[in-house]
Amino acid sequence: MNFIEEYQLKDNHICSGFLDIFSVARQAGLCVPGASGPNASIQPETKKSTDFWLGNANKIGAPISIWEQYHEELWKFVNDYITKYKFMDFGGTFMLRYLPTIQWYKPGEGYYKWHIDGAQLSCCDRAMVYMTYLNDMSEGGGTMFYHQDYTVTPKKGKTVIFPAAYTHLHKGEISLTQEKYILTGWIWWE
């Protein structure tokens, strides 16, 4: 039992919809260099990506229907996850506090360093990470987990859920030849 669960979106058009939103956001100049660490600072030696936070989608008139379709499937996955690992049997409720971010990694870019998503005081109430691969990749592009000695293989529409805790130290598997797009966010303790 490694607490890393992989799910598949029923409708991969959702991924295409997010890619379309990212493309428009990029053309509108709303994408920013990816940040990391306790101060959410730009650290290209740690993480190099181009990011768009979906909270800014209204600035480009992006259709909310894509998010609604995704959200519906995501919560089915989350409910399956918390049922499987008996979170509700022992207390705890969860919420989606913020909209997720679309991250674009050019060939050679990635989250280079091992990290956890719930390490800083400002985010210690993150319970779970969710990440959906928005494109297929045939070389690299996975997510590597240190303690589990496991790598998730990227596939368009694959959604991964895992704890945002020190037990799940992870980093990106860098592709030198292909672009990688993911949608990522957190489920928070309520």
In tens, the pLDDT along 142-167 reads 999 999 999 999 999 999 999 998 89
Q: How confident is the model at residue 120 (pLDDT cuts 50, 70, 90)?
A: low
Looking at residue 108, what is its pLDDT? 97
In tens, the pLDDT along 70-89 reads 999 999 999 999 999 987 77
Contact 18, 102 (CB under 8 A): yes
Whether the pLDDT of residue 40 is over 80: the answer is no
Whether the pLDDT of residue 121 is over 70: the answer is no
pTM: 0.94
Q: Quick one: CA torsion of 131, 33, 136, 127, rounded to 10 degrees?
A: -10
Whether the pLDDT of residue 119 is over 80: the answer is no
Question: 176 vs 94, which has greater pLDDT?
Answer: 176
Q: How confident is the model at residue 41 (pLDDT cuts 50, 70, 90)?
A: confident
Cβ atoms < 10 Å from Cβ of 2: 13
Beta strand spans in the chain (E): 5-8, 32-33, 35-36, 41-42, 47-48, 50-53, 94-95, 101-105, 110-111, 126-133, 143-145, 150-152, 158-163, 170-172, 180-189
CA gap 36, 13 in Å, rounded:
29
Domains annotated on the chain, with CATH: 5-189 (2.60.120.620)
